[in-house]
Amino acid sequence: MIAGACAPQKDNNIRSNQVLTEGWKFTKGNPGGAQATTFNDNGWQEVTVPHDWAIYGPFDKKWDIQNVAIEQNGETVPTEKTGRTGALPHIGDGWYRKTFTVADFDENKTALLVFEGAMSEPEVYLNGEKIGEWAYGYAYFYFDISDKLLKDKENTLAVHLSNKEFASRWYPGAGLYRNVNVVVKNKQSFDQWGIFVTTPTITAEKATVNIKAASSAKGGINMLTEILDADGKIVASSWQAVGANGAFEDNITVPLPKLWSPETPYLYKAVTKLFDGKIGIDEVTTRFGIREIKYTAENGFTLNGKVTKFKGVCLHHDLGPLGAAVNVAAMRRQMEILKDLGCNAIRSSHNMPSFEQLELADEMGFLFLAESFDEWAKPKVENGYHRFFDEYAEKDVVNLVRATRNHPSIVMWSSGNEVPDQYGAEGLVRAKFLQDVFHREDPTRPVTVGMDQVKQTMQSGFGALLDIPGLNYRVHLYEDAHKAFPQGFILGSETASTVSSRGIYKFPVVQEKEKQYDDLQCSSYDLEACSWSNVPDEDFVLQDDKPWVIGEFVWTGFDYLGEPTPYDNFWPSRSSYFGICDMAGLPKDRYYLYRSRWNTDEATLHILPHWNWQGREGQVTPVFVYTSYDSAELFINGKSQGIQKKNNSTPQHRYRLMWNDVKYEPGEVKVVAFDKNGKPVAEEKIQTAGAPYKIVLEADRTKLTADGNDMSFVTVSVVDENGLPCPTATNRLNFAVNGAGSYRAACNGDATSLEVFHSPSMELFSGKLVVLVQSGKDKGDITLKVTGSGLKDAELKLQSL
């Protein structure tokens, strides 16, 4: 151990990170070809990054017509598909240009240009010279620009992106949709993503924090590591001298550790500092959690010694009306909704997650399955990742792991999803190759693959090879897979794919697959699924009855752009129906079915359908109740419809209360829930509403940060004269924002709507929509006014602070 060194001064500019957010210029197409690096950009659009050029539309089926057979869905004959990638203009070329200066750069410094995601196939130019390229639109990557950067002069950065047709199975977004950074540091410094923090031993009295650091340091350089608790207090510190090849390793004891978990997401910081004598030459702060994960045949998955099942959802990377462009406020809102649901885990599907999403998962307490690829060497789509696999797969996995491995939320990696390589001996070679790369870069976490060809993987050894066998659907094969695979447990890596449209109900109420209707909607009785999938209750049975099933990741938490199953062949339909919540983030009925089982801290009592059925008087209109209680009594206009109790006769009866013979009559529906002793403990009611009368606004947040990026999501609905919600209202509403903010977008959750999100007008869908209000950079009041013909206006005050 080495003593006597002092901390670096705070103002010595040993490392800087410049986020290139503002001042970008963008143009669609390819003006001047390669000359676009120096092309006159006077007519280009001014944008901020992160940016998605395609989300502004318009929606049109011409953008992504595909004549294909989707093998994952069991199709053998090609048919015309519209909306498969969101029916937005993402295909084609785009150019971004920005000028910037770096004041603290000289010959003793190293400069890196870091991209967190660029869709796709980026070619990067600095001062007119090409400095590099990458392939995968979801990858993080960087270039050393030390010999190209001009000191104290204006540098011109140009990025060419190309989105090919038939390159994705969903909406991929377009552009520089994640951050771009310039990192300047000393020549002798930590490598990019070169620090790895783990917690190999934990007891109630102490925890060992292991620090491994890769650097360009030479002899005579020392590393000081300080461990800070959540209040910023130093709780442990240690010195180490540089090792071979610039490597450092240290084990530091933290007394009385506070453990990270979804219930208590406690975070520490490791501040690692390099010294040349007494002079500080580099410093990196790494946030981490102290936690222990294990996977065993005996107990499945344990976190900090406690058996824990994954109550997870799959999420695509798009943020609905914001497209693929990263926005922290939007992701935080999604995750707050998931917290109330009782969800404890997220799978990034089928892409590498954003840094911001992982930071939120650490802070808010979500277990995370970080996924890498949807395609290996065998193609799913004509211009997919298979074109790059041999050259880039290892590089992409290395960057994924090194960039994100310090997040305590990540508890497993996924090397692929439903890859066609599940067939054939070469598939086993690729699976082992990728798993070995993950293990080499991170020996502390296991690797899975989402497998849909379960019989094949049982026979070939593909499933036996994996650390964690992940089954996508195939509930009827769980028992066989458990017997065939040696791991002793199964993960539901993708489950349900139940489809529904918020507030839409179809009669008669029947359980069906691939059900289609003339209005291109799906019923919210939650009994409709895809040909390959099932309704939630069938997964619940496996989760509850089979201790060797370690949890599930539902497809999906929120609706997303593209993949409009079961309406791939119909127009207009441009987004998914899979979500537990719709694309606006509004809960569907199914939200409460999952909540009744997942949220063990709060009671759930929810009635469906709505009770506005003019013309259905006297007709059978079943009433379902999703509840955490075991029994309840239903009343229609005060008349009892009987008591229902959950039972094991069918999966649906086990998890839902259903009154299938109720006949519609306008008025009041009330449900009274009973505890296990038969005592009434809660009630809920809905009523038939009159004509829409006034607009009601409800914001998720009323205080915003004046940073130009923060957002408030305002739920807009209409009620009748008595204040009752109007669940069938489709009024057109108009939005105006004044003051220290701006109107950003609106979304009504209708998968068939062709209204562009950024227009300040939209029709309600099932009585609701959501307006996004964005803060400016000036502090002050923001006013949102919503109007609609024949309706009483509404106004909402927000603050930008």
Torsion of CA 451, 455, 460, 461, to 10 degrees: 60
- The token pair that represents 489 in the structure block: 């447990």
For strands 794-800 and 780-788, give the pairing.
antiparallel
The Cβ-side half-sphere exposure at 67, using a 13 Å CA radius, reads: 0
- Among residues 9, 711, 787, 64, the alpha carbon closest in space to that of 381 is found at 64
Asked whether the beta carbons of 651 and 608 are under 8 A apart, the reply is no
Rounded Cα distance between 683 and 636, Å, is 13
- Give the active site residue among 283, 418, 441, 633: 418
Distance CA 9, CA 279 (A): 9
If DSSP codes are grouped into helix, strand and coil, which group holds residue 197?
strand
Write out the two tokens for 793: 């206006």
Q: Are 720 and 726 in contact (CB under 8 A)?
A: yes
Burial of 280 per CB tally in 10 Å (0-12, 13-18, 19+): buried
Catalytically annotated residue among 494, 563, 633, 755: 494
Q: Contact, 634 vs 604, CB < 8 A?
A: no
Which residues in 673-690 are b (16+ Cβ under 10 Å) and which e?
Answer: bbeeeeeeebebebbbbe
DSSP state of 13: -
Nearest C-alpha neighbor of 340 from the set 662, 62, 600: 600
- Asked if 501 and 522 count as a contact pair (C-beta separation under 8 A), the reply is yes
Q: What is the amino acid identity at position 432?
A: K
**DSSP notation for 252-277:** EEEESPPBB-SSSB--EEEEEEEEET
**Pair 559, 581: CB distance under 8 Å:** yes
**Is the CA virtual torsion 261, 265, 266, 272 positive or negative?**
positive
Is residue 205 among the annotated active site residues? no
Phi, psi values for residue 360, rounded to 5°: -65, -40
Kindly report the three-state secondary structure assignment for every residue of 743-757. EEEEECCCCCCCCCC
What does the alpha-carbon distance between residue 601 and residue 49 come to, in Å, rounded to a whole number?
A: 40
Residues in the chain: 801
Residue 750 carries which side chain, given as an amino acid letter? D
Residue identified by tokens 């458990």 is 482
The DSSP letter of residue 300 is E
CA angle, corner 11, sides to 6 and 14, nearest 5?
Answer: 75
What residues form DSSP beta bridges with 734?
Answer: 761, 787
In the structure, how many helices (H) and strands (E) does the chain have? 10, 48
3-state secondary structure of 552: strand
Rounded CA gap, 497 and 131, in Å?
Answer: 43
Interstrand relation of 680-687 and 768-775 (parallel, antiparallel or unpaired):
unpaired
Consecutive H or E run containing 455: helix 454-460
The three-class DSSP label of residue 339 is: helix
Tokens, residue 612: 């506005």
With the C-alpha atoms ordered 706, 707, 708, 712, is the resulting torsion angle positive or negative?
Answer: negative
CA distance 319 to 177: 11
Mark 421-434 as b/e (b = at least 16 C-beta within 10 Å).
Answer: bbeeeebbebbeeb
- Catalytic residue at 418? yes
**What positions carry a catalytic annotation?**
418, 494
